Structure 1
């Protein structure tokens, strides 16, 4: 089996419907090439674009083998992950050391939050007895022996 036989459908690679026009094919391929994480992914996007905008019979063959109404939610997530892969926070200007954190202050805040009084509505809900279920209360022998 050759490499070409193992490649996925170009419509699937680009996450486009089989009736996509040439402009949307090129735009999607360029976006994929720009955000691809490896050279292999870039080559796959380039291959998919060339397959679909090249010879009309090649595109027709791929269109016939693409399942109708295919959804590409996973592709949208993959594109999101690729686009936002880099860490958006620039921490190079900040030298974070253990001395930069005020541990006693953090502990005081946590303790203060834990000792904060409950709101009246929450206290009332906790103190209210649970409503009795209709019927008799189950005992261990009922559960074990029916």
Structure 2
């Protein structure tokens, strides 16, 4: 099985502008993905997201914004260690591409970086499977957050 990339497509009944805001603004990101988030929405912006309360065993992950092209592309690297500059070999790259289609937005999400981490096959496969489960849980929440913003 290939563990190099995760790719998902989703059609959202909203404009690319609305979808982009919910994908990129930490106030909206918290509504569909992590429990908390803080990062500037600009290329090179460095911040974090967290799943659960880190003080109670939750996990905080670093996040560095790579590309912001409103309302077409938003990408970031995440899970790199404190003190490291995010790049191939130490982080995952998530890219959201938005295209206006049929009065809504076709969103393509890809995540790469599993092979580039230098892990053995079992570790790469486990990380890939974990992220597949995560995206399959979180991405369906995105249209709900977009609809809530539009209301």
Q: What TM-score does the superposition give when structure 2 sets the normalisation length?
A: 0.28
- Flag the structure with higher strand content: 2
User: Looking at both structures, which has the greater relative contact order when contacts are Cα pairs under 8 Å and sequence separation is at least 6?
Assistant: 2
Instruction: Tell me the TM-score normalised to structure 1 length.
Output: 0.28
Q: Going by fraction, where is helix more abundant, 1 or 2? A: 1
Instruction: Kindly name which structure, 1 or 2, has the bigger radius of gyration based on alpha carbons.
Output: 1
